[in-house]
Amino acid sequence: MKTNKLDKLEKEIREEFDKCMANLNNPVSYKRGAYGIRLKQMISDFKWVLTKIEELKKE
């Protein structure tokens, strides 16, 4: 049960992570300004959450 919820959460987070990476890598991207800063912070947060999910799966 716990693993199923973690898998579902991980899938949703990875989808959002991929969207953020696509926006960041867009040639007409929002790398500057407040949106770019927030986008980079979101990517960092997603990476942190994904590592925590992996740790929980190992338990």
Q: For 1-59, how does the pLDDT look when each residue is reduced to its tens digit (9 = 90+)?
A: 677 888 888 899 889 888 888 877 776 655 567 777 788 888 899 889 989 988 888 87
Question: Can you give the pLDDT at residue 18?
Answer: 87
Neighbours of 49 (CB within 10 A): 14
- The CA-atom distances, in angstroms, between 25 and each of 21, 33, 46, 56 are 6, 15, 16, 30
pTM (whole model) above 0.75: no
In a 10 Å sphere around its CB, with 0-12 CB exposed, 13-18 middle and 19+ buried, how is residue 31 labelled? middle
What is d(CA 59, CA 55) in angstroms, rounded to the nearest whole number? Answer: 7
Question: Can you give the pLDDT at residue 1?
Answer: 61
How many residues in the chain? 59
